[in-house]
Amino acid sequence: MTIAVYAGSFDPVTAGHLSVVRQAARLFGHVVVVVAINPEKHTLFTVAERMELLREVVALHPNVSVASTEGLIVDYARAIGASVLLRGVRGATDAQFETTLAQANRALAPDLATLFLPAESHLAEVSSSRLKEKLARGEDVSDFCPPAVAAKLRQRLSPSSLRSS
């Protein structure tokens, strides 16, 4: 069985991320969605919250699991016997960044292949940052994330929660 690793910050998971997960679930025996922990990156949600949301929204895919790591993704992938790293691509800007990342990963782990999976075209402009910005402005985000994610974002970005943090 081929194991693929799809890593990101997922702060929060978007419909674009889920588009990549759906494709990957059809292509591979097992897909591990990994919350990559970067202590220097300021996130809206804790690692536990991001993992909980991911588990909820990938539950329909029995061959998809969720994990986290503070280390290098290539080290995590090797430790679980994965042979493929998945990267989502929204457009040309992503492609350049992701190609550079894939080259760095290949230098570290030539035994791991990187596969780029594009999100569906109507999701090309969806990012976690843009999702948070739209919601903070009171815009509808239902096309850009699952309802559970939108609810959690509304709760976290409500004026009362911002005053208490």
* Sheet-wide strand order for 3-8: 64-69, 30-36, 3-8, 84-89, 113-118
Q: Among this protein's residues, is 41 annotated catalytic?
A: yes
Candidate list 41, 42, 137, 163, residue with the active-site label: 41
Q: Nearest-5° angle of CA 102, CA 107, CA 110?
A: 85
Q: Among this protein's residues, is 160 annotated catalytic?
A: no
Candidate list 30, 50, 90, 152, residue with the active-site label: 90
Q: Among this protein's residues, is 128 annotated catalytic?
A: yes
Candidate list 26, 128, 137, 154, residue with the active-site label: 128
Q: Among this protein's residues, is 122 annotated catalytic?
A: no
Candidate list 17, 22, 30, 152, residue with the active-site label: 17
Q: Which residues are annotated as a binding site for ATP?
A: 9-10, 17, 88-90, 98, 123-129
Give the closest residue to 8 by CA, choosing from 111, 92, 97: 97
Q: Which residues are annotated as a binding site for substrate?
A: 9, 41, 73, 87
Q: Which residues are annotated as a binding site?
A: 9-10, 17, 41, 73, 87-90, 98, 123-129
Catalytic residues: 17, 41, 90, 128
